């Protein structure tokens, strides 16, 4: 190739050089333009995301209270050591894990079932669909208070129904296990519509011809559901699963209104502990360390799930 270049006459070489220069200029001006367009977004992202995260990590190494600033002193990894050796925090993780598992399982199962029904055409479908979406539009605090009243053991509607059916009234929010199930019920009531929404969209996106072909081949409805509907909508359902896992894991506001973390501290999620440590105790350093731990867990979980999603995308 070098011989080819050398064989060109000087004029051609100059022309080629000029063309290269023009190309480089174009490229560099293109890069500049791209950078120009991106820089406001990058600046906002740096300010809104990177700065708080770095501050969070920085403060996590200090014994520091935003309310009592004179007390700021470096403590190395002591905040992390204290938190990870605190049995109360492990209880919060266990509770959060149970809550996430129950909620996400219920929401996915009910959501997929209802979504499958909602993809069919029937009279009044749009009205029912709109009504189904309503809980999702409420604020979690409102949902918390709403369920708190409904679950009141004396005058709540749920115990009214329970006692009307001949069963003993349940102290839903005053006992550890019923409180977990009550919170899971409230969260499921609120967020199952989200799964229904995505599942319906995914199911309706599957070409009708595939079902027709399956029907011609004599496939049963169950076969069609498990071999066609579910696999073909898996990427969307998986995204729904990821979003619900992350969202349930950081659930806070529902518990503030519904149980206040009680009885005892049995319904305190990890996010609840972060908020309490940061804004009630004002142990800013310790809360930062706890938030970093939570962040690492959520990022780790998301990475595993996203990798799985990518593989799934390649498969389907």
Nearest residue to 286 (alpha-carbon basis) of 47, 51, 88: 88
Which of 64, 172, 189, 203 touches other proteins (CB under 8 A)?
172
Whole-angstrom distance, CA of residue 99 vs CA of residue 88: 16
- Closer of 153 and 302 to other proteins (Cβ): 153
- Closer of 145 and 211 to other proteins (Cβ): 145
Q: How far is CA 85 from the centre of its chain?
A: 27
Q: How many CB atoms lie within 10 A of CB 247?
A: 16
Judged by CB under 8 A, the stretch of 30-38, 115-123, 153-161, 303-311 that binds other proteins is 153-161
Whole-angstrom distance, CA of residue 309 vs CA of residue 301: 12
Whole-angstrom distance, CA of residue 267 vs CA of residue 182: 10
Judged by CB under 8 A, the stretch of 9-17, 29-37, 222-230, 280-288 that binds other proteins is 280-288
Is 302 a binder of other proteins (CB under 8 A)? no
Tell me, residue by residue from 95 to 134, as one string, x for binding to other proteins by CB under 8 A and - for no binding. ----------------------------------------
Is 74 a binder of other proteins (CB under 8 A)? no
What are the two backbone dihedrals, phi and then psi, of residue 63, each rounded to the nearest 5 degrees?
A: -85, 100
Q: Give the SS3 label for residue 124.
A: coil
- How many residues lie near other proteins (CB under 8 A)? 28
Query: What is the nearest approach in angstroms of other proteins to the Cβ of residue 169?
Result: 6
Give helix 87-118 / helix 176-204 axis angle, nearest 10°: 40
Residues that bind other proteins (CB under 8 A): 66-68, 152-155, 169, 171-176, 259-266, 276, 279-283
């Amino acid at each position: 190739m070098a011989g080819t270049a050398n064989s060109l006459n000087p004029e051609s070489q100059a022309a080629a050089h000029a063309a290269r220069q023009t190309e480089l200029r174009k490229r560099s001006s293109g890069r500049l333009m791209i950078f120009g367009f991106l820089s406001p977004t990058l600046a906002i992202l740096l300010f809104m995301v990177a700065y708080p995260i770095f501050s969070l990590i920085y403060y996590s190494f200090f014994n520091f209270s935003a309310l009592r600033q004179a007390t700021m002193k470096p403590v190395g990894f002591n905040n992390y050591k204290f938190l990870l050796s605190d049995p109360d925090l492990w209880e919060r993780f266990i509770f959060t894990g149970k809550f996430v598992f129950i909620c996400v399982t219920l929401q996915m199962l009910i959501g997929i079932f209802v979504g499958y029904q909602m993809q069919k055409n029937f009279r009044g479908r749009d009205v029912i669909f709109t009504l189904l979406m309503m809980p999702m539009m409420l604020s979690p605090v409102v949902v918390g208070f709403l369920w708190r009243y409904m679950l009141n053991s004396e005058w709540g509607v749920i115990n009214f129904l329970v006692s009307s059916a001949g069963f003993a009234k349940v102290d839903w929010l005053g006992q550890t296990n019923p409180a977990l199930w009550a919170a899971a019920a409230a969260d499921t009531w609120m967020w199952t519509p989200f799964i229904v929404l995505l599942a319906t969209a995914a199911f309706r996106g599957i070409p009708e011809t595939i079902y027709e072909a399956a029907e011609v081949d004599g496939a049963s409805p169950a076969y069609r559901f498990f071999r066609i509907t579910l696999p073909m909508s898996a990427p969307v359902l998986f995204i729904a699963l990821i979003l619900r896992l992350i969202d349930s894991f950081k659930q806070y506001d529902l518990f503030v209104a519904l149980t206040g973390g009680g009885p005892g501290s049995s319904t305190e999620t990890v996010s609840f502990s972060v908020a309490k440590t940061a804004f009630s105790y004002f142990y800013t350093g310790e809360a930062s360390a706890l938030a970093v731990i939570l962040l690492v867990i959520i990022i780790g979980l998301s990475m595993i799930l996203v990798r799985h999603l990518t593989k799934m995308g390649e498969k389907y």
